[in-house]
Amino acid sequence: MDLPDLSTVSGEELTEEQIRGILAQIDLDITNLVRDGKLSALKYGLAGSAGQHTDRAANLQALLAARDYYQKLLVSRPAWETSQAEMGRRGERA
């Protein structure tokens, strides 16, 4: 059953690993769409879809837009890199 609104939906911010997983899935979908000459302007529909049609070029555009969004989300995440070195009296590692 579809939700009537978003008032009961909550969630956590996506982790870097989750975003990378989404990007990998989008890349796989793009690869499957364009390989073996599958990309065309021909319209196709799902069986029993009550007349709903789309074309592969439109799907490719949607996938590329989604990939761009998640790539920007990944890049915009704060990056922290910490290191610690212990130095001895003569500047050597202890």
Query: 59-77, pLDDT tens digit by residue?
Result: 889 999 999 999 999 999 8
Backbone φ and ψ for 87, nearest 5 degrees, come out as -110, 140
pLDDT at 16 over 80: yes
Q: Which residues contact 37 (CB under 8 A, 6 or more apart)?
A: none
Query: 78-92, pLDDT tens digit by residue?
Result: 766 566 666 555 555
pLDDT at 3 over 60: yes
Q: Which residue, among 30, 24, 86, has the nearest Cα to 56 in the 3D structure?
A: 30
Q: What is the dihedral of CA 68, 72, 73, 76, to 10 degrees?
A: 180
More confident residue, 32 or 88: 32
Query: 33-55, pLDDT tens digit by residue?
Result: 877 665 555 555 555 556 556 67
Give me the residue spans of the domains in the chain. Answer: 16-40+53-76
Radius of gyration of the chain, Cα coordinates, nearest whole angstrom: 23
What's the whole-number average pLDDT of the chain?
78
